[in-house]
Amino acid sequence: MRAVVLRGLRQVVVANVPDPRIEAPTDVIIRVTSAAICGSDLHMYNARTAPAEGMVLGHEPLGVVEETGSAVTAVRKGDRVLVPFNISCGVCFNCARGFTSACLAIDPKSVGGAYGYVGLGTYRGAQAEYLRVPFGDRNCLVMPGTPHDAWEDDFVLLADVFPTGWYANELAGVTAGSTVAVFGAGPVGLLAAYCAVLRSASEIYVVDWIEERLAKALEIGCTPIDFRAGDPVEQIYEARRAGRRLHPGEEKMPGVMCGIEAVGYQAIDWSDPNAENPARVIEDLIRLVNPTGRIGAVGLYVSNDPGGINPHAKRGEFSLSFGKLWEKSLSLGMGQTPVIRFAPQLRDMIVARRAKPSFLVSHRLPLEAAPEAYAMFEQRIDGCTKVILKPELKQGGSS
């Protein structure tokens, strides 16, 4: 079969690899109809993780069941299924408590596992024509409709970024009337902002510097903050002060109650957009979030970054204003999203036309266009906000 393979620094190719096969009675083989490129794929693409050359990439698949193992009972051949990016057994101590992102049984060397990602097991990635899904009853969520219908692009976003945006809101405590700031307007940041809209937040600020992304934030009803114009924290303070009459004491609460970090360890320093500052966003959120507020960090951080800006950053170690975090009684939650906890409800919101996350998708390309797609996504050109690869789309086609 054809699959997207990492060959080296900024080198991906579409190559022939062996077809997947049933290896355990609980396995399922799916024919992939859509596979999205994730911002975290770029960390491997630009060599900001431990070596991963030769890997088949991708962890955001939607497809159709082609074959099932003898122990599979919940899905059958022909079912359209969504496959969460984190692989889980469903019954270990963590899975039973809802933390499927930290499965204890899926890999002997790690806590948790994922398709096509370094440090999360040896499972082949999903940017391919076919994919083996371990524990298929647990890791395949049946979806309505048929391949390539009007729900296709919405459903594939349930594999990662839409639930991750929702989880960011859970961690940050976003409820009706909340004031929210989202740092980062990539796919996860935009969907985190969109989820805040769905949860009826009263004010939502989205910080970035890419014009197309900020325009998307405005399009969904958020206030875009371009950090090229200056300190984004001060910009949000000013926006919140405008036209407000405060009760005595409220001047001590100039920021927002809910902060979302959707950038990760390759954060750009707004004071110098040519430089990285991996702690910049967390530090800004500690300044911005009001006392007793909450911060949800869903941007990716790693403990092994070969391209880190200093020896500490190479080990995922950052200086943090912990005293201020404690002093303000802030809560900080973080980590990978347990997708299966949220995907069924979000699926039903899509079906009921209460949610349309595919507003984010800018490019739909054949699998063979993966090298160009990765370069375009990394360089943030051609209005690229989210790319979905379509293995059944012929070369030269796009939508």
Cα 147–148–149 angle (5° rounding)? 95
Q: Residue 399 pLDDT > 70, yes or no?
A: no
Segments making up each domain of the chain, as ranges: 2-160+338-390, 161-334
* pLDDT, mean over the chain: 95
* φ, ψ for residue 161, nearest 5 deg: -70, -35
278 C-beta neighbours (distance < 10 Å), count = 24
Q: Is the dihedral of CA 205, 209, 213, 216 positive or negative?
A: positive
Q: Residue 70 pLDDT > 70, yes or no?
A: yes
CATH code for the part of the protein at 161-334? 3.40.50.720
81 C-beta neighbours (distance < 10 Å), count = 21
Determine the Cα–Cα distance for residues 230 and 272; give it in Å rounded to an integer: 10
Q: CATH classification of 2-160+338-390 is 3.90.180.10, yes or no?
A: yes
Encode pLDDT of 255-307 as tens digits: 999 999 999 999 999 988 889 999 999 999 999 999 999 999 999 999 988 99
E strand map for 184-310: 203-208, 223-226, 256-261, 268-269, 272-276, 289-297
- Predicted TM-score (pTM) of this structure: 0.95
Encode pLDDT of 317-344 as tens digits: 999 999 999 999 999 999 999 999 999 9
E strand map for 95-183: 130-133, 141-142, 179-183
Residue 5, pLDDT score: 97
Tokens 């902060």 locate to: 259
In this prediction, residues 24-31 reach a mean pLDDT of 98
Q: Residue 245 pLDDT > 80, yes or no?
A: no
Is residue 178 within 8 A of residue 258, CB to CB? The reply is: yes
Q: Calculate the alpha carbon distances from 239 to 169, 228, 236 in Å.
A: 22, 16, 5
